[in-house]
Structure 1
Amino acid sequence: MSENSSAGRPRESVPAREAFFDNAKFLAIVLVAVGHSWEPLQNGSRTVDAAYMAVYTFHMPAFIIVSGYFSRGFDARPGRLGRLVSGVAVPYVVFETGYALFERWAGDDPSNPVTLLDPWFLTWFLPALFVWRLTTPLWRTLRAPMVPALALAALASMSPELGDDLDLQRVLQFLPFFVLGLLLRPEHLARLRGRRLRTAAPAVFAAALLVAYWAAPRMNYEWFYHDNSAQELGAPWWAGPAMTAGLLVCSLTLTACFLAWVPRRRTWFTGLGTGTMYGYLLHGFLVKGALYAGWYDHPWVHGPLGEVTVTLAAAVAVALLCTPPVRRVFRAVVEPKLTWAFSRAARTPAAGRTAGSATDDPASRGSTADDPAFHHGSGLPRVHHG
């Protein structure tokens, strides 16, 4: 008897994962880790400052745009709500607590509070993703959702009274990138494969580095974190909307160039792209640990050889954190199985899946569509960084 007949109906074929998205995830998480490793080297090297600003212009927007792209099919059905809780909310509670306790122990800061209302270090993206994805049905009902998203981002950038609860500044200021991702279709991403953009991308990145080199001693790089209003950064209120618009253009340009150069074929790191959640959530302990252990205190680290060494070490470390052995060890806290906590409707794999939905996109098979680590980024030494 054939498998199809034994099941009583034809078995659904599962399209293969698209290598492009796993490649993009891995390369982006490497940029995140490298950017974090550069933080203690800032203010001593103008070159590092320029590279840092250039990377921070696009690595979080790229994460968030693809996050929105894979959230297109979210419709708040029980199955998807269950995955949102187990894949985003629970890891946030675990790692927000873990980083706070690590800061108390390794950072010798017993006063550091354990709170879920004020995200600390790289955990801020988890509640932001939770809010964005939960509001996806609302954005998809609007005729022109980018208009209110941009308006909310601009208003947030000049509203210091928003406070730090759940990092609402970042939730609102990064919102346009998520909404843009919701509007994208596969044919839009396919246009990035054009020869013109691929040819122009190196020149665009070179120009961005030159501009960043000029701006490094003149500009407050905290604008790239999107976690403060203009007034909190010492600028007039109108600078908030102006910087929001200017950074949006720069971020989208560099994101397009980055994605244009992501390989479409399988590479040696394609498999590592399926484990970026682990690399993202765990690499902060290594970066913070190196800082607290005094490794950055050695003078040679702040020279050209030391800066290159730190960069390579960060890239290798985050790659190792994405490997299967590490994932097996930490799966219980990064991808917890919480079927016991949900109703039968939420436990049913088919719940929330309809033909032609975003979750049926071959690129979103496996954990890609619900992998929050693909969309994460952060920085040192506190919650600013993205």
Structure 2
Amino acid sequence: MTLVVVGHSWTLLPGSATNDHLYDFLYAWHMPAFVLVTGYLSRSWSYSRERLWKLVRTVAVPYVLFETALALFRIYVGGERLEDLWRDPHWPMWYLSAVFFWRLATPVLRSLGEWALPVSVGVSILAGLYAGDTLDFARILGLLPFYVMGLLATPERFERLRTPWAPIAAVFSLVGIWLLTGPGFRWFSTEWLYYRSRYEEMDVSDGQAFLTRASLLILGTLGAWAFLALVPRGQGWFTRMGAATLVVYLFHGFFIKGASYAGFGGFADAHPVLGFLLTTLGSVGLALLLASPPVVRVLRHAVDPLGFGERQVKDALEVVDAEQRADDLAERIEEHIAEQVGERSSVGG
């Protein structure tokens, strides 16, 4: 999640060979890794009433609310002009649309077993011919293989990344990706890394488009697994912050857009090295701040307003139930005391 914030913040930097290289290197593998983890965490998803309601409550509702909020922010604060609100997700709301449809497709994909991966690769490669902007289906289908990899992953398969040779292979893989995304080996534009444009918009033949998409799928796979092989297993003070991923994702765009509207891009252009350092460190700090427990306690209600309402109603009902039980207990005690007094009166008489 932190890398998502870093990547988005780098859009504030001026275009240069170094900045463009860093951006393309990161996007070649970090979104594939992010999607793979999403798939892994969705393995148990099913068409139960509880799961469907949670999908609506925690994905569809935040999409509608934050798509609206970010659009209003961009229009009235940034002076931007947006079209097709909700139908064509605006940065960075597309991922909620993707998660919604990926999870709906999860039981079907799991029913395919090991065939799900080659099928998803075929869908991804062919998607560039037909998929459009509606709900960002081009990205949903283009990145589908990484989601399926997560669905098919198991703890045992992840354990293979802990062998002594895995980190060494991971370093070589990332070095190779760094070289292949550099100016010397350039064969694709940055737009290819978004998996969102039709091939006809990229001004290449279908054959070349198929080859480019397939190559990027391989590159993203190597980078995603390399990253996961290098992630430490130990618990740290930041470990629990992973539960606040949605809070960070939905709110960080306001800060980055706000910095853009405040003219930070001009500062970064005038001070390239300092601008890069401040942008990178600031984005890491922003991710940690938004994921910190005090901030999450405040913002989580906005991320899941229906869940917050449900909890409030449940708490209120529990209070009413407790009061009712207390009243019933008090009534039984009074009845017991009355019975005891009556018995003593009868004995005394």
For the pair 1:121 / 2:91, whether they are aligned, the reply is yes
Structure 2, unpaired ranges of 5+: 311-349
1:224 alignment partner, one of 188, 193, 203: 193
Amino-acid identity (%)? 39
- 8 Å contact 2:268–2:276 — kept in the other structure? no
Counterpart of 2:252? 283
Counterpart of 2:267? 298
- 8 Å contact 2:58–2:303 — kept in the other structure? yes
Over 3 Å counting, the alpha-carbon distance change for 1:67 and 1:300 in structure 2 is closer
2:34 alignment partner, one of 58, 63, 87: 63
Note the C-alpha offset of 1:177.
1.1
In 2: Cα distance, 1:229 partner to 1:293 partner: 34
In 2: Cα distance, 1:226 partner to 1:215 partner: 23
* Helix, strand or coil at the partner of 2:234: coil
- Bigger shift: 144-153 or 300-309? 300-309
For the pair 1:31 / 2:8, whether they are aligned, the reply is no
Note the C-alpha offset of 1:223.
0.3
In 2: Cα distance, 1:168 partner to 1:209 partner: 29
In 2: Cα distance, 1:217 partner to 1:49 partner: 12
In 2: Cα distance, 1:239 partner to 1:217 partner: 14
In 2: Cα distance, 1:244 partner to 1:53 partner: 15
Identify which of structures 1 and 2 has the higher relative contact order when contacts are C-alpha pairs closer than 8 Å and 6+ apart: 1
2:18 alignment partner, one of 32, 47, 52: 47
In 2: Cα distance, 1:340 partner to 1:34 partner: 33
In 1: Cα distance, 2:165 partner to 2:185 partner: 30
- Bigger shift: 222-231 or 141-150? 141-150
Superposed, 1:313-328 pairs within 5 Å as 313-328=282-297
* Helix, strand or coil at the partner of 1:227: coil
Note the C-alpha offset of 1:156.
0.9
Counterpart of 2:278? 309
- 8 Å contact 1:89–1:127 — kept in the other structure? yes
CA RMSD of aligned residues (A): 1.9
Note the C-alpha offset of 1:213.
2.2
- Bigger shift: 298-307 or 194-203? 298-307
- 8 Å contact 1:204–1:254 — kept in the other structure? yes
Counterpart of 2:78? 107
In 2: Cα distance, 1:340 partner to 1:295 partner: 38
- 8 Å contact 1:301–1:310 — kept in the other structure? no
Higher fraction of helix: 2
In 1: Cα distance, 2:193 partner to 2:242 partner: 25
Over 3 Å counting, the alpha-carbon distance change for 1:301 and 1:274 in structure 2 is farther
- 8 Å contact 1:301–1:307 — kept in the other structure? no
Count matched residues.
Answer: 309
In 2: Cα distance, 1:188 partner to 1:202 partner: 19
Counterpart of 1:168? 137
Counterpart of 2:55? 84
- 8 Å contact 1:100–1:114 — kept in the other structure? no
In 2: Cα distance, 1:174 partner to 1:61 partner: 7
For the pair 1:141 / 2:106, whether they are aligned, the reply is no
In 2: Cα distance, 1:297 partner to 1:216 partner: 30
In 1: Cα distance, 2:159 partner to 2:270 partner: 41
- Bigger shift: 291-300 or 93-102? 291-300
Letter in 2 for 1:69: Y
Q: TM-score when scaled to structure 1?
A: 0.76
